[in-house]
Chains A and B, each alone.
Chain A
Amino acid sequence: MRRRTRGLAIAAGFALVLPLAACATDSGSTVLTWYTNPDAGGQDEIAQRCTEAADGAYRIETSVLPRDAASQREQLARRLAAQDSSIDLMSLDPPFIPELAEPGFLAPIPDDVADEVTQDVVQGAIDGSTWKDRLVAIPFWANTQLLWYRKSVAKEAGLDPEKEPVTWEQVIDAARDQDKYLGVQGAKAESLTVWINALVESAGGHVLQNPEAPADELELGLESDAGKAAAEIIGTIGKDGLGGPGLPTADENASMSLFQGDRGSFMVNWPFVWSASNAAVEEGTLDKAVVDDIGWAIYPQVDEGTDARPPYGGISLGVGAYSSHVEESFEAARCIVKPENQAYYFATNGNPPASTKAYEDPEVRKAFPMADVIRESLEKAAPRPQTPYYNEVSIGLQETWHPPASVDPETTPQDSTDYITAVLRGEALL
């Protein structure tokens, strides 16, 4: 009996030690962990490419974060607050960058790296990666929303969005006159904040007047003509049922389904809809005639003649301040954001590059005939408020501007301002 126990103990000891030994033999090169947002496998492929290019200096392993941006932020913030040294590289959604940069969770970027990774990069991506005048993350890919339209519906309404920018009013009238639905994101989620921010910015205002101020000194800019104009548009689409019955729960995918349906007319959405629609045709779940009928243009204007400020999104790379391999991580980041990798990522995963050079890639131009419109949109795009308290502002907006049918230009901007101010001062729950 005793001998058997000893045998078991030895076996257990081997079982514990063997995997470690395997690590030891393999650890000739440094292993970097890159926390990525879920995609179609593009970041994994880039990690492999950069591992090969590093020639043994380091090996990049990817670890996938949760699906939505808010959950990605939660996980990274929690682990960084606990000084997790396993976070070498991370894919960050721009609005959450200041929150991680402010307490020093992101390793400072050396000047030479900062100079290199901002060469030939769209301004929106540089702004989105900057906090208090310092580049704190490395622009990787940059996203923006376009106006997608059914050519047949636009023609019937006498509009040509490709040549002449359209206004929200025209889009709303066209949908109403032809008894069609508009594809907008009315769900109580981050996508609603994206919509509100784009409307307020397009109308010449800002959700936050002084985003760099401390929490109790932040001033909102919703009680303005811009805030009212935004509320007017959202409220009208909600009250008149123009977003369809699914509007209060519509996210980007739901908007896309609505737009592809019989009553689709116009939609504001990210470029992924193009690759998704084409994939659906290949799978046989969507008629090719629908894709042939799809047109694209710059985001709609709020005031006729004033350029729209489309939503800005995308991903920047951060290096963990508590990583044991900061230097190698910056090397890896420089490799990841190379224009050819960004072009590959756009062509295969549908995520637009932050590098202007990548737009010249023939593969990109083949896969995305609207590449030039995306680049133009990125130059005009406005980021969401950059503050460490972005989460409070965003959820506060969602609480007060949802459902869209309840939005009233006379009361919503003020209610929203009062509520968010109280939350930021620690006087109200969210």
Chain B
Amino acid sequence: MKLQSKYIPLAATISLFAAMSVFGAVSYTGFLSPQVFLNLLIDNAFLVIVAVGMTFVILSGGIDLSVGSVVALSTIVLAKLVQHLHWDLMVAIPLVLCMGTLFGAFMGWLIQRFRLQPFIVTLAGMFLARGLCYLISIDSISITDEAYTVLAQTRLHLWSGGPMVSISAVLALVVLAVAVFVAHGTEFGRTVYAIGGSEHSSVLMGLPVARTNVLVYALSGFCAALGGVVFTFYMLSGYGLHAVGLELDAIAAVVIGGTLLSGGVGYMVGTLFGVLTLGVIQTLIMFDGSLSSWWTRIVIGALLFVFCVLQRVFEAGRKPGV
């Protein structure tokens, strides 16, 4: 049986993840326990959620640099509402999600309506959201609300006494499942792929390009806000300096997950494995103990390099014939 060429990048990512896990299992005792792998998901739940939104944006041929700031803004708004103004969680969380969605939709509208470059618009959005954080509070606001801490510390055992996951990890998987359905099973998803392939052709085909472009950024804003909510679950605080550089991690995860940066090609599942690969690198460096943490950045950079070059090779290979 021959692997279809469109699955090769995805297969490469999954193999990489598997290879790294095997390497960890061979090198370090205690690495190969289910909890170590579930922790990858627990520790990176917010990144999975944010990266899912980013995947939609990149699939459509755009980029969203504002997600890290929107995460920070969400944490601080939540903290302010819950801690200082004593709002109910059930009101505060939906409000934050709406805010993130609107923020994304506004950027998408600017990009679509005035033909602006996504890079610059979301860059300005990044400044704006970070700035708004500091307008709300310069200091970190810690959340001590009881309902909140209970929610954050709840652990669900897979079986009694067995390994456990947090609510955020479950939430991340739910978001991923919904995203897989939206990307591959709905008209919206197909339009996103089509726009990424060729926006011009999509317009000519009569696809709702304008609407989809705005929706993609709205979706990314929603995911970033949800990522922010999940982020507060384990920081239990809101702070303007939370999630600095998260947009880069998210982009890196999407790229390592096999999504083409030029748009149109990629899988949501790839993004999950992209995030998990980043997580495994961190875990490996942690288990090793002798390597300093900045090696993480260098290894991620090197991986990005390898995957980008591979993507180019695939693109070049696909052009003639086929």
Q: Do A and B bind each other?
A: no
Which residues on A are within 8 Å of B, measured CB to CB?
A: none
